[in-house]
Amino acid sequence: MTAPVATRLIQSVSILQTFAYLGIAFLIITVIAGYFMQTPTAGGSRPVGRQLRRKANSELAATTRSGEHSRPGDGGHGGC
């Protein structure tokens, strides 16, 4: 999207003015987009994928500590 605009600007004005115009445009877009961001609540909700991954990791750690899952050949010591 930027390339056609930049090409036309470079042809009509100098390259330095093109960088200035594009920089100002990107600054305005970034500031406007920043207004739509929200601060998370105190508890902060995590994306669903992270919650599931954390739950799976904690379950794996619990079963590994209890010795239910050990790798073949490690003698049930969990790699110690």
Which domain does 2 fall in, by range?
1-36
CA of residue 61 relative to chain centroid, distance: 26
Helix residue ranges, H only, 1-80: 2-12, 15-35, 48-66
The total number of structural domains in the chain stands at 1
Q: What is the pLDDT of residue 48?
A: 60
**Predicted confidence (pLDDT) at residue 42 exceeds the cutoff of 80:** no
Identity of the residue numbered 7 = T
pTM higher than 0.95: no
Residue 32, domain member (yes or no):
yes
Q: What is the pLDDT of residue 40?
A: 73
Residue 56, domain member (yes or no):
no
Find the angle CA(9)-CA(14)-CA(20) to the nearest 5 degrees: 75
Residue 68, domain member (yes or no):
no
Residue 59, domain member (yes or no):
no
Q: What is the pLDDT of residue 19?
A: 95
Residue 66, domain member (yes or no):
no
Residue 6, domain member (yes or no):
yes
Residue 69, domain member (yes or no):
no
C-alpha 13/C-alpha 24 separation (Å) is 15
